[in-house]
Amino acid sequence: MDQPRQTARSGDGDAATTHVMPQTVDITLFQEDKEDILPKHHATNTSMSPTATNENGSSANGARAKLDEKAAPYQGEQPYGMPNDLVIPGIMDIDGTDERLWVPQAPDVSFRPLLLSTSQGYFVNILRVKKSGILSRHQHTGPVHAFTLKGKWHYLEHDWWATEGGYSMEPPGETHTLEVPEGVDEMVTLFHVTGAYVYVDPYGKAEKVEDVFSKLKMAREHYEKVGLGAGFVDQFIR
Ligand SMILES: [Fe+2]
């Protein structure tokens, strides 16, 4: 597998480590930063940097005294090795999203990766389901945080419903069966998933496992197939 590549631009004096992805994908935007592999220090905004100080720590020319410290951005360096931040605008504009970003998972089921944390063993993605019925029965090895963006869903084992605009947490260890009810044409939910899904039969026998690495593999294969290139997914890896 290719090394994850840093897509943020460093050294331009602005929010140099923030990568902003457009909703309409411009492929060339992701082909310009191939040489950057290792994390770099955040760039310091030199226009706001204090000037040299003398042995007493006071400013040589008084420039520091003029700095409005309350409104000043942090003047130091960020720790070496720190991963880049990640910013993706417009994620709630489901219909306006470039269709190529949706990775097919099963018939009428797809996901859009937002963050694939290979170093921490979790992933954040938007799940889009365009059918009703039973989706899966699974156990979680880690906690799940869910924010329902559209439609509603529930687990057969509970009497609560995840509804549009709502938040829910699924505890590690639990096994449950996800259903999208009749009458819901489209369910869209942002899931923050730590650990793995273990898909099981009604008695708990494991049948399949899914985690950040299987998500990454699926996304790489899909993005290669639709012409974005397997490396397109690298921008989501932290
Ligand atoms: Fe679940």
- Supply the pLDDT for residue 69: 82
Domains of the chain (ranges; CATH) run: 99-236 (2.60.120.10)
**pTM of structure:** 0.74
Centre of ligand 1 from the C-alpha of residue 114, in Å: 18
Q: What are phi and psi of 56, to 5 degrees?
A: -85, 0
Which chain residues have CB less than 5 Å from ligand 1, an ion? 170
Average pLDDT value over all residues in the chain: 82
Centre of ligand 1 from the C-alpha of residue 144, in Å: 7
pLDDT at 123 over 90: yes
Centre of ligand 1 from the C-alpha of residue 154, in Å: 10
pLDDT band at 25 (very low <50, low <70, confident <90, very high): low
pLDDT at 16 over 90: no
Centre of ligand 1 from the C-alpha of residue 92, in Å: 21
Of the candidates 199, 181, 188, the residue with the CA atom closest to the CA atom of residue 133 = 181
Centre of ligand 1 from the C-alpha of residue 222, in Å: 24
pLDDT digits (tens, 9 = 90+) for 185-203: 999 999 999 999 999 999 9
pLDDT at 155 over 70: yes
CA distance 172 to 139: 8
DSSP H or E segment with residue 212:
helix 212-225
Centre of ligand 1 from the C-alpha of residue 132, in Å: 16
Q: What are phi and psi of 202, to 5 degrees?
A: -60, -15
Centre of ligand 1 from the C-alpha of residue 177, in Å: 7
